[in-house]
Structure 1
């Protein structure tokens, strides 16, 4: 039996594990009603994922849901915000109940982990795409932005870089030699964990921040442009895992992948010298490793060096489903 829009909403989207006290009215009316905590500002982000651009038709619905929500959560993390509510616009070519069930499973698992409540949205017929709008809040005046970096600030990144692009190569059909390693990399591409706790811990410490969705090189450039500064990156300090090194021909190839790989959902941020001593303490309970990779300067350009020697590398951002040249969601 073909299910209509209202059946799908009632049977899947209206039933969810998160029911926040600050939601006065959720799914089921023309609009939702929420309450922003006293002394906080509302933070809002929207991302769209389109089949064939951001994910393949063969992708598991649960993976697509995780990726869609993680993308939005990573944006909130980069602002130091606390996630709260989500609205979802889902466009489907038909009322595929099995796909919707898988999507809801992937969405609910990540939403429950970060206590995000689905408060409304829309479903319609058309080429498969997902648009999520995520709402969060941050103490007034404490949001992290891209525009606060100053000469002398140190540049850090969370986690390790490059594995999302390595996983995408397998998604696109790269021959598998080591199945276990390939599966881990594919999982990293689809199910990256946004650094929400780390973003909140960086409030009052980081001078600027951004999430790595378009690749470190491209996204750090956004900070430099917004802050009207330059930077020098020491590529030998880039956080690269042994798993990635096993995938490529050389350390140089791994370094370039770490600089260009998008959809990592790690954070790149800058820290003034006066706050360096408090960084490790602040991140202690977030379970997030960070690596210092360079320093902000006043040159208004991004310079790459290896052991202090300038590099003449031509790099680009993330381009969906092009292994050599990837662009974030």
Structure 2
């Protein structure tokens, strides 16, 4: 009897603190089962040699040692660095477009629809559209180049520029996504701060840097995280547009992981898991750095 009373009193004393966790518990369980546990399994699988069907054999760090001498891995890693650096251009581009679309000008709904369109189509469609766009025979890019007397350029067949062509294709929908985030953020900007800044003589770049951007930090954070994840998990555009070619020059880590684990390299699940672990660690370090920097900026440390 005393125990039940004490339990009820504990619940009454801590009800406000416990209730949010009860609502979060189902989501936390799902996150643990479908995100955390697969990550742990990937770390474990990377220590084995396994073809996906037979018995897995423990080999320790041999998969990682092989990665160290794998030229294809370094090509994929370098391409991912290019994706990370160039993909971040989607954030300022999305911000500038959002600022333009936030104005009251004639035909703004048509402009919003045009800029929003890339976001609603799939990456497969984007890949096909840009493959046709780059086609040296009938692609719009080479038709325009022909008007100015430049010869046809086979973008996706040139191992020096093919990766840049795929990244340009990826930037199209990613910029649209960042634009949507910033449009939402601009709707929450305090108009009183804008008016006060105008009275103080702030305009143009100063207004944007000192008044608007600080209020857009939540949108910037989400845009940054989503863009980094999108750059690191780039797979579908590479698969659709070049299938890793020419000569493996457009491979990224996610695509190379697929190749070695589930494609022509003989179902090397452990080696593919090792690539996945490296990709996860890069993503973790990159996003953690930004989180820490943002936290320090918020605290003024």
What's the TM-score once normalised by structure 1's chain length?
0.20
- Choose between structure 1 and 2: higher helix proportion: 2
- The higher radius of gyration belongs to 2
